[in-house]
């Protein structure tokens, strides 16, 4: 028998908590959504198993997006075991896809690519074009982080085509984000600006604050690389306010890094060092290796400008070792004069 409190059954309260968490996640409030999903998961998986598993999937998605990959994997393992008992095939497949996305978020790009390609084949076979577009978006990000830039661009371009075929507005926006990011790294700055501007138009008014913050940050990165520092700073400030509102410390750190780069260009070295060290601390707390490497290489350049050569060289060498262990090419991109940045998301 369900216990009743204030006229609302326990099951009903759990369902309401789940629906509120879903709304928060859709708007980009990932930390608050995660708290809602955790409330649902306090009940044993043997109750309303579908609601429990959906909440587990939602929580894992929030945690990996926030960079909390170890915690995401812990809940994913709990969900995978529960799903193996009597969950539908669809739930099991979604759980496996989340596992691939955790690998990707944790920097295990080659492993994630194998798993994502398998899901892409499954979506194509079923003619699920929205699903295939999503898988290609994830593949494009993993390829980019591996340094396979042209392969990444092709994956994002195909993701965009399929998202449009499926009339998937969110898929279109995120494919444009991916196209903007990889073309920026390739030095195709006019093209990158066009993609990010189109993505910004696509998400304005959507209610997805995370996507809006992402668009402003991406556009700021391109503008900074083009030398339009005042306009870039304006977009960084907009992204900064949105990420603070979302309580998203890792993506906020990428904005702080970008502002640090602006200050470096302006010769404001104390302000640049303050922003870069803020970003470095947030990346370290969030386990964001790529961000840590970015900050270390940027700080190395700043220290060199201050005449602290030995300290700068030691920091840069440490960043390179860290990047090689993680299999990321960030130090290379960070050293290119027209391709210095990478955003926090794919």
pTM assigned to the model: 0.84
pLDDT in tens, 135-189: 999 999 999 989 899 999 999 999 999 999 999 999 999 999 999 999 999 999 9
pLDDT, position 66: 85
pLDDT at 289 over 90: no
Lowest mean per-residue pLDDT among 36-50, 156-170, 261-275, 290-304: 36-50
Q: Which whole number is the average pLDDT over 183-203?
A: 96
pLDDT, position 220: 97
pLDDT, position 45: 56
3-state secondary structure the chain: CCCEECCEEHHHHHHHHHHHHHHHHHHCCHHHHHHHHHHHHCCCCCCCHHHHHHHHHHHHHHHHHCCCHHHHHHHHHHHHHHHHHHCCHHHHHHHHHHHHHHHHHCCCHHHHHHHHHHHHHHHHHCCCHHHHHHHHHHHHHHHHHCCCHHHHHHHHHHHHHHHHHCCCHHHHHHHHHHHHHHHHHCCCHHHHHHHHHHHHHHHCCCCCHHHHHHHHHHHHHHHHHHCCHHHHHHHHHHHHHHHHHHCCHHHHHHHHHHHHHHHHHCCCHHHHHHHHHHHHHHHHHHCCHHHHHHHHHHHHHHHHHCCCHHHHHHHHHHHHHHHHHHCCCHHHHHHCCCCCCCCCCC
pLDDT, position 329: 61
pLDDT in tens, 219-235: 999 999 999 999 999 99
């Amino acid at each position: 028998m369900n216990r009743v409190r204030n006229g609302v059954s326990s099951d009903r309260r759990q369902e309401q908590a789940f629906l509120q968490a879903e709304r928060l996640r859709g708007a980009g409030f990932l930390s608050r959504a995660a708290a809602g999903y955790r409330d649902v998961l306090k009940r044993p998986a043997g109750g309303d198993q579908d609601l429990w598993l959906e909440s587990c999937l939602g929580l894992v998605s929030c945690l990996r997006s926030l960079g909390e990959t170890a915690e995401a994997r812990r809940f994913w393992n709990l969900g995978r075991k529960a799903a193996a008992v009597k969950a539908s095939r669809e739930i099991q497949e979604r759980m496996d896809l989340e596992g691939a996305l955790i690998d990707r978020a944790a920097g295990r790009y080659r492993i994630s690519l194998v798993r994502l390609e398998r899901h892409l084949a499954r979506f194509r076979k079923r003619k699920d074009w929205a699903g295939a577009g999503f898988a290609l978006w994830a593949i494009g990000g993993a390829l980019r982080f591996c340094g396979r830039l042209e392969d990444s661009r092709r994956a994002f371009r195909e993701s965009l085509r399929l998202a449009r075929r499926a009339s998937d507005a969110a898929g279109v926006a995120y494919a444009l984000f991916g196209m903007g990011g990889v073309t920026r790294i390739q030095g195709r700055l006019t093209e990158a600006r066009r993609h990010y501007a189109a993505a910004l138009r696509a998400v304005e008014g959507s209610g997805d604050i995370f996507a809006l913050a992402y668009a402003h940050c991406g556009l700021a990165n391109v503008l900074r690389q083009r030398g339009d520092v005042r306009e870039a700073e304006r977009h960084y400030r907009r992204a900064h306010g949105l990420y603070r509102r979302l309580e998203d410390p890792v993506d906020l750190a990428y904005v702080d890094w970008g502002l640090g780069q602006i200050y470096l260009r302006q010769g404001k070295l104390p302000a640049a060092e303050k922003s870069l060290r803020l970003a470095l601390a947030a990346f370290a707390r969030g386990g964001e290796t790529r961000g840590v490497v970015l900050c270390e290489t940027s700080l190395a350049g700043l220290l060199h400008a201050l005449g602290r050569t030995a300290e700068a060289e030691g920091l840069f060498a440490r960043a390179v070792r860290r990047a090689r262990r993680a299999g990321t090419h960030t130090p290379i991109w960070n050293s290119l004069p027209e391709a210095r940045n990478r955003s926090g998301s794919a």
